[in-house]
Structure 1
């Protein structure tokens, strides 16, 4: 009897030990390795550096674009790219060209980090589903699937950092003559929360999300598809091996930025204008007869489109497109190339195309 009790106890202990070992193995399989965590951190750093470098390089054009988008048609100060940059230099000096860039970088660094990382993860998930559906283990992402992965990345990154983008727009628009001054990003966030409520931080979010789908989606899709085509087709003898040069990748990024921003630009204009709603000192002007004219109020995205086209014409949807085009071409190109270069420098094995 005692022998049976001992055997029973040993069997129970053995089961407990086996269960503990199985649980340990399961935890080890689920828990990411330190190498994987380090790789993720490096990828996020690369994306953040890419965003900061690319945006600072074109900060004057970014500010001019926003000023052109939101200026009142009854009081034109900025009539073009060259004239606008000269006017800012003359009235506000060198610092005026980079006004709002600190807040912009505070937004774009995490935005870019999340965007690039989200694209990588979305690409992996979509590719796995595609291979499972087709039964082809060697299948690769198509341009349409890359568009979907880029759209997912853009929505996630935009939503995560939108309040900072909203106050950055207001900081960029204000000048020394503005009746009310935001002292910085955190002061602007606190002021908007206090005076306009939490929902004000997401004014213009809908057109932003709708616009970011073709914008970021096309950026990634065009950039990756062009690179893939150049490597495989080797047109004009441009590529002799599987590694593209910096100049070639810059050209791919420039093409991607041009296509994406042209399609999505009207939504960006609506986003900026909706962000200014509720800020009484944003664009109030004095007309030619000396009367004060308040800025238009918008009840939503459709209303913003309708009133803009009615009062200013269809061309108003593309206000600031020229400086934006001049800005986007180098900005997107620099962002993609910087991202890949920093990842190479940090020793991250996974590239965007992988």
Structure 2
């Protein structure tokens, strides 16, 4: 009888153990199935937040964006735009409200995926760089530093810019053309197909090198300054600006504005050269043709160095900063709005990880 009790108890324990094991296996299997879908959902939410941030920020400053490009590429022998206020008034007078937002559809079509990829790439790059840094002896508990953030931002900028560069090139041409341009691109796809057919596929990446060089300090400094300023404010709490671990929207906007100012000032000359190189091969651009109908060759550059040399020689060093004022007026609120919109949308969508994390 005792033997039967032992056998029964053993059998019962075995059954319970088997059930527990099966339950654990089922739980692990369930988690294994859910984890990838949960991770994919997080990626999608992050991409959506980045896209919304880019679209909102660029639309808010579209008139200044167009004026900046017109100032960058206008022929020095036929000046139409003499400054921010005069330029905006001239566009309003000659082209109406639609002229102020010309090229914005193309810009948003480019900036939405660009911004989505950029913010997501920054998150992934910062995690990867921090992981590599922690592999070094003595750095096991290290956190992101401004230099590491600069590197992550540079990686994100290069990836995002390269992925959407043809759209940026086409957007520049659509933005520059006016009602008097002999050649009229009808839209994004017409411009893409026309450039591809008449100038070849390499034309879609004309100006890519100065863009790569320029995006490293620009995007890198944007992220590094923004995140470092936020960390400093939360840690030191100067002037009573921070009451708890969260920054107000106004304070975050100020951090974004500071980041945008630093980044665009350092990288602006490369942006001018990039934009001018994008116009190479487009002989019908009204802004590069003089009053007698002849193209003075202002857009005939053989490369980045040649573009720098000719620009400075014919127009002076100040030409590298043409359009800086409207760009400053534009980029400061644009970067600020983009950062804050990104974080707010991620909060709304319930994404746990922010760029600071």
TM-score normalised over the length of structure 1: 0.90
* Length, aligned pairs only: 328
Query: Equivalences for 1:171-320 in 2 at 5 Å?
Result: 171-282=174-285, 283-287=287-291, 290=292, 292-296=294-298, 297-320=300-323
Given the alignment of the two structures, is residue 77 of structure 1 paired with residue 80 of structure 2, yes or no? Answer: yes
Asked if residue 106 in structure 1 is aligned to residue 106 in structure 2, the reply is no
CA offsets, 1:53-72, max 9 Å, x none? 00000000000000000000
Q: CA deviation at 1:136?
A: 3.4
SS at the partner of 1:133? coil
Deviations, residues 20-43 of structure 1 (Å, cap 9, x unaligned): xx9xx99x9799521111000000
CA contact (8 A) 2:283 2:295 kept: no
Q: Is the 8 A contact 1:215 1:261 kept in 2?
A: yes
CA distance in 2: counterparts of 1:37 and 1:188, whole angstroms: 34
> Is residue 159 of structure 1 aligned with residue 162 of structure 2?
yes
Contact 2:73 2:288 in 1 (8 A): no
2:74, 2:288 within 8 Å by CA — same for their partners in 1?
A: no
Which residue in the other structure is 2:59 paired with? 56
- Check whether the contact 2:75–2:290 (CA below 8 A) recurs between aligned residues: no
Q: Secondary structure at the match of 1:33?
A: helix
Supply the distance in 1 between the matched residues of 2:33 and 2:140 (Cα, whole angstroms): 24
CA–CA distance in structure 1, aligned partners of residues 212 and 317 of structure 2: 21
Asked if structure 2 preserves the Cα contact closer than 8 Å seen for 1:72 and 1:295, the reply is no
In the aligned structure 2, how far is the partner of 1:154 from the partner of 1:29? 33
Q: Which residue of structure 2 aligns with residue 130 of structure 1? A: 133
CA distance, structure 2, for counterparts of residue 291 and residue 109 of structure 1: 37
Over the aligned positions, Cα root-mean-square deviation in angstroms equals 1.7
Query: What's the TM-score once normalised by structure 2's chain length?
Result: 0.89
Q: Write the distance in 2 (CA, Å) between the matches of 1:169 and 1:180.
A: 14
CA distance in 1, matches of 2:276, 2:35: 44
Partner of 2:45: 42
Matched residue SS, 2:140: coil
* Matching residue of 1:324: 327
> How far apart are the structure 2 equivalents of 1:327 and 1:194?
34
Tell me which moved more, 137-146 or 277-286: 277-286
Give the 4+ runs in structure 1 shifted more than 6 A: 28-31
Q: Spell out, residue by residue over 1:134-189, the C-alpha distance to the aligned partner (whole angstroms, 9 max, x if none).
A: 44332111101100000000000000000000000000000011001000000000
Unaligned 5+ segments in structure 1 are 1-21
Separation of aligned partners in 2, 1:34 and 1:292? 60
CA distance in structure 1 between the aligned counterparts of 2:117 and 2:244, rounded to whole angstroms = 31
- The whole-number CA distance in structure 2 between the counterparts of 1:217 and 1:140 is 17
C-alpha distance in 1 between matches for 2:99 and 2:293: 29
